[in-house]
Structure 1
Amino acid sequence: MVVFAVDTDVAVTGKLIRFDELKGYGFITPDRGTEDVFVHVNDIDMDRALFVPGVRVEFVIEEGDRGLKASDVRMLEAAPASPGGEDPAVSVPVARVEGPADGVDVLTKADLEREATELLLAGVPDLSGGEVVAVRRLILKLAERHNWVES
């Protein structure tokens, strides 16, 4: 287990990576030096409609009963909007490799990896880099098993 020194009562900045509206909590990744910080809906000092993954915030880190906890959370910068207000998972550009005459597209492994990465990052922005790589690897194995990609 990695232990970080944390200055409490000092405002820090970070980005909201997850928030469950029904449960009323989520996690913020600080810009520097600590593990992800728990945040509860009662500690948010901003319009809750704007409290979505990707929003940049300033907050104070406290030592809670179960670890680090954010308080006095204020918005610094709104989350980046997807182009045209569309669902990012739908608006990811897709490059195609010419397939057989029956209209089926066959991608190269590199193209599938790139497109899967773009889709995961746009559609599920709170995934860690390791999670993106793991999901992409599973997608590639599935595609290889069904001959959906060129070797």
Structure 2
Amino acid sequence: MEGPFDGSVKFFNADRGFGFIAPDQGGADVFLHVSSLSRSGLQPPMDGQRVRFSIRAGKKGPEAANVSYV
């Protein structure tokens, strides 16, 4: 796991349970799954929500973990 990093939620589809974070440091968007939010007791984010997160290896590539709202 790497991080923590800061970024903004690019979009989040609550019906489908996923979205992407645009990291402040640039680079590829990071996949955000609803399970990472529920583990932290968070409600689904609004687009543009500021977040702090770590990155872990997911099933299909890098995935956000330890997500918190800032």
Checking the alignment, whether the CA contact within 8 Å between 1:62 and 1:69 is kept in structure 2 is yes
Q: TM-score, normalized by length of structure 1?
A: 0.42
User: How many residues in Structure 1 have an aligned counterpart in Structure 2?
Assistant: 68
For the structure 1 residues 55 and 46, does the alpha-carbon distance in structure 2 shift closer, same or farther, using more than 3 Å as the test?
farther
Moved over 4 A (4+): none
**Structure showing greater relative contact order (alpha-carbon pairs closer than 8 Å, 6 or more residues apart):** 2
Determine the C-alpha separation between the residues in 1 that align with 2:41 and 2:22.
18
Deviation at 1:46, TM superposition (A): 4.9
Checking the alignment, whether the CA contact within 8 Å between 1:14 and 1:29 is kept in structure 2 is yes
Cα deviation 1:43-72 (Å, max 9, x = unaligned): 0125315x1101000000112221110011
Percent identity, aligned pairs only? 34
C-alpha RMSD over aligned residues: 1.5
Cα deviation 1:49-108 (Å, max 9, x = unaligned): 5x11010000001122211100111000xxxxxxxxxxxxxxxxxxxxxxxxxxxxxxxx
Checking the alignment, whether the CA contact within 8 Å between 1:37 and 1:68 is kept in structure 2 is yes
Choose the corresponding residue for 2:64, options 70, 89, 92.
70
Query: Per the alignment, in what secondary structure is the counterpart of residue 10 of structure 1?
Result: strand
Structure 2: any 5+ residue segments left out of the alignment?
A: none
1:15: which partner in 2? 8
One-letter amino acid of the structure 2 residue matched with residue 12 of structure 1 = F
Cα deviation 1:93-133 (Å, max 9, x = unaligned): xxxxxxxxxxxxxxxxxxxxxxxxxxxxxxxxxxxxxxxxx
Q: Where is the strand percentage greater, Structure 1 or Structure 2?
A: 2
Q: TM-score, normalized by length of structure 2?
A: 0.85
Query: Per the alignment, in what secondary structure is the counterpart of residue 35 of structure 2?
Result: helix
Determine the C-alpha separation between the residues in 1 that align with 2:68 and 2:41.
6
Query: Per the alignment, in what secondary structure is the counterpart of residue 48 of structure 1?
Result: coil
1:47 aligns with 2:42: yes
2:27: which partner in 1? 34
Determine the C-alpha separation between the residues in 2 that align with 1:68 and 1:39.
9
Structure 1: any 5+ residue segments left out of the alignment?
A: 1-7, 77-151
